[in-house]
Every structure is written in C-alpha cells, then in structure tokens.
Amino acid sequence: YERFPWIKHVDEQGRPYYYSADGSRSEWELPKYNISPQSGEVPKSRSLERKQQDPIVLTKWRHSTYVLDLNDKVRYCNSSEIGPSEKCGVLNVTKITENGKKVRKNWASSWTVLQGSSLLFAKGQGGSTSWFGSNQSKPEFTVDLRGGSVEWASKDKSSKKHVIELKTRQGTELLIQSEIDSVINDWYRALTETINTHAWESDEAIEEDMPESPGAEKHDKEKDHRDKKTRAMKTSVSMDSSDQKKTRLKLKKFLTRRPTYQAVRDKGYIKDQVFGCSLASLCQRENTSVPNFVKMCIDHVENTGLNIDGLYRVSGNLAVIQKLRFAVNHDEKVDLNDSKWEDIHVTTGALKMFFRELSEPLFTYGSFNDFVNAIKYSDQKQRVNSLKDLIKKLPKPNHDTMQILFKHLCRVIDHGEANRMTTQSVAIVFGPTLLRPETETGNIAVHMVYQNQIVELILLEYESIFGR
C-alpha cells in the first residue's frame, strides 16, 4: 500500500469526514482496503454521496491506513512514517501569476504538503478567507512541479525575507515564505530535489495535457516514438533523389506564393487590437496622432459627465468595461451614448485601462528617469521648463495624446465643486497609469510620489507647458 495520510475534519453541519492529503478524495468514512493498488479496482464507499453535495475532482486513488487529524499536523511532519520525498508544514504563500497573467498578491498562511511531484496547499481550521477560495479546512490548490523551477525571490518580487519563487510549466508563479530561516532552507532543498527528480517526466506530462482528437486511442508513447522513427526512415529510403528534388521545388513554389504578413493585414484578415498595442502603431493604423478611442471617451465625458461625483476616482463595473474593451478590440461600432454603456464610470474606467495596457506608457520608458530628475529640482521655474523640454522630445503620438488628455483633465478639475476631483486627486489616479519604470527597482512608494508630483505639476502648469 502507498503510505499517504487521511485528514479528519468536520463540515459546516458538524458532520465528520475524511479527505486525502493530496486533495484527490473525500469520504464520509475512513476507507479500508484489502486489495493491491495495481488491481485497478476502486472500493465502494460513500464518496459519491458526498460528491453530490461537495463536488471534488477525483484525479488519482491513494491507498492508506493512516488517519491524520488537523491538530496532529506537526506530529505527522516529524513522523518517520513519511517517505523521504514528502514534506509538510505551515508556510506563507501567494500567487503572483496564474496561467501567465498577473494576479493581485495576497499573502495567506497555508498548510503545505509536498507529495511526489505535487505541492498541495490547504487551510487550517480558523483560517481567514484567502485566494484558495472557501473558508473550509480542506485542500484548495495543487501545483504540479514537473517541468517547474525554483529560486530565491529577488527584492523586487517581495520585501519579505526568506522568500522562494516557484514557477510551473503551466505559467503559474508562487511566492513561498517562512520567517524561520532553517525551515525555508529545508523547503528550498526539498523543492529543488523534487523538481530535479521529476525533470524527466515534464515532457511526458506536457504530452498528457494536450487534447486528443475524438475517438483517438491512447498508444504507448515509447512505441509511438519508435514507429515515427521507423516510418521516417522508410520514407527517406523509398524516396529517390528525383522525388526529393520535385518535393523541394513544389515546396519552394508554395512558399514564394504565400502572401506576406503585411499583405494579409492590409486585406483585413488580421487586425491589430486597440488595447495593449503600441501607441505609435495604433496612430499610424488610424492615420492620426491621437487614438480615436481616446478622443471618443474624452468627448463623451465632457458632454455628459463632468459634474458626476468621483469622476475617474470611482471604479466602473469591470465586467461592462471588459465588454466595451472587447467591442473596441474587435472593431465593432461603439456608441458610448448607448444604454449599455450609460454609466460614465464605465467610460472613464475603459480610458484608464487603455493607458494602463499600452505596451509602453504614455511617458515612455526611456524618459522616465529624466522626468523624475526634473521634478526633483528645488526651483519651480526650472522644474516646469525641464518638464516642458522633455515633453517636446516625446514622439508625436505621445505628445499630442498627452496634450489632449491633460487638457481634458484640467476641465475635470475646473468642475471640482460638482465632481469633487482636485488636482491632487486626479494626479493620484493618473500618476502610476501614465508613467512607470520599465523594471521596478528600489522603493515603489518613492516612485509613486514622483509619478503623482509630475502629473500634478503638468496639470497646474498646463498653459506654460503646452501653450494656450
């Protein structure tokens, strides 16, 4: 039998149940086994009854005679019953990336179990709600370590001490931390050893994750690999030199007739998106120096929303903003006066999202340090003149878009009695959105102060910088 523990817990109605520490099973009663794991049989139990009330994906059956109460976690970790590749304990954990996308970093204390090539996270009793989901003491999240990597996290990832950065082949990044130096060092060695041990499995795991065509049979991978090599050798031998030459000529003709990427784009088969693209390429595509979407949002706000309380400070409905983003990206005809976009905070939220998702900020990466140095001058006139010179040096799309945007924001401030937006509050909203360093180094809070001060000074000295 595999020696893997069962953990005892009580649900919301006070009923005791058991779950396997790898999160693959949940049972009302402690399972008993009289069969070998290789038999392929699954013992009948009351798991299906629980599955109807508390759905759990059954990925793999584990066999065990051990029961672990949540209060016995530490005793289990120190037990000699665990195999050498297994480890468990309480760690501080947070996701920073999921499936390649950045997520909000929220630290949470987690009961962590290392078993085989899997790293399991579960919350203990009395734990607060975290990014694992519910407030129950059961396994909530599992990481596949095959094909992953582990290293000590740099300071720009976290200001905490003793932080491990774990990356998976699925695009998930985690930070794992403990205040105890010896504990985190042990985890680092265990994770490194596990990843190295299962490195050979990573290619096979990737093949398993790929979807199969309907009705396709699952062949032995080694046999398939040998068959492919055999077929390739037979094809190579059977094809004489003249056939090879004909094939090369046909392939060459096909490649020369293939249209270029630019030609396909020009015909409209491939369309670049509006959100997340380069400002210069978008303006070139639209034959303008200010994106049409920016002008459309500004016009709509100035015509209908300058007196609305919390303009640009209040968040709009994110789901509706994403629908607007999708429509704009797919070149749909958008009328912001339509009832589905009637909330002005949807328009302002989409405009902020546009600037936030630019591949390079409105204040270009290359000029960030120059703007920061300019705002540090003690003399007000010198600060204004330095900012004016730097803005003049920006690419025309950046300069013209910046001028229209700041002119609009000045109008928002002019209606401050109604919308309660001051120069400082507008600067706080737009500072980090419009300029940021390419790589975040040093103190982020200090950078934010400079970002806000730069935007605030441009708003105060708009006419001096851009002219009437």
Q: Start-end ranges of CATH 2.30.29.30 in the chain?
A: 83-200
Answer yes or no: is pLDDT of 127 > 90: no
Give the pLDDT band (50/70/90) at residue 129. very low
Q: What integer pLDDT is reported at residue 299 of this predicted model? A: 96
How confident is the model at residue 453, as a pLDDT?
Answer: 94
- Among 451, 440, 435, CA closest to 402: 435
SS3 label, residue 7: strand
Joined together, the tokens standing for residue 115 give: 């078993």
Q: Where are the beta strands (DSSP E) in 13-147?
A: 16-20, 26-27, 67-69, 87-98, 101-102, 108-115, 118-122, 139-144
pLDDT in tens, 55-73: 333 333 333 333 444 444 4
Phi, psi of 183 (to 5 degrees): -65, -50
Class of domain 83-200: mainly beta
Say if residues 431 and 362 touch (Cβ distance below 8 Å): no
Cα 432 to chain centroid distance, Å, stands at 19
Beta strand 108-115 pairing with 118-122: antiparallel
Q: Residues 6 or more apart from 205 whose CB is under 8 A from it?
A: 144, 146, 147, 169
- pLDDT tens digits, 4-30: 456 666 665 667 766 665 455 667 777
Query: Does residue 185 sit in helix, strand or coil?
Result: helix
Contacts 24+ apart (CB under 8 A), 446-450: 447/372, 450/371, 450/372, 450/375, 450/376
pLDDT tens digits for 301-343?
999 999 999 999 999 999 999 999 999 998 889 999 998 898 9
Amino acid at position 252, single letter: K
Among the residue ranges 141-145, 156-160, 265-269, 435-439, the one predicted with the least confidence is 265-269
Which pLDDT value is given to residue 236?
A: 53
CA 195 to chain centre: 22
Q: CATH 1.10.555.10 in the chain, residues?
A: 279-466
Task: Give the percent of the chain with pLDDT over 70.
Answer: 65
Name the pLDDT band for 368 (thresholds 50, 70, 90).
Answer: very high
Q: 140 CB contacts (<8 Å, ≥6 apart)?
A: 23, 121, 122, 123, 132, 133, 134
Q: Are 405 and 441 in contact (CB under 8 A)?
A: no
Q: What is the mean pLDDT of residues 159-175?
A: 87
Amino acid 392: pLDDT:
94
The dihedral region occupied by 302, where left means phi > 0, alpha psi between -120 and 50, and beta the remainder, is alpha
What is the average per-residue pLDDT within 39-51? 40
- Residue with the bigger pLDDT between 412 and 153: it is 412
CA distances from 188 to 121, 123, 170, 195, 269 (A): 16, 21, 20, 11, 49
Q: What is the dihedral of CA 461, 464, 466, 467, to 10 degrees?
A: 130
Residue 367 has pLDDT above 80, yes or no: yes
Dihedrals φ, ψ of 388, to 5°? Answer: -60, -45
Out of 21-35, 172-186, 188-202, pick the least confident.
Answer: 21-35
Whether residue 188 has pLDDT greater than 80: yes
**Domain topology for 279-466:** Phosphatidylinositol 3-kinase; Chain A (1.10.555)
Rounded to 5 degrees, φ, ψ at 142 are: -130, 140
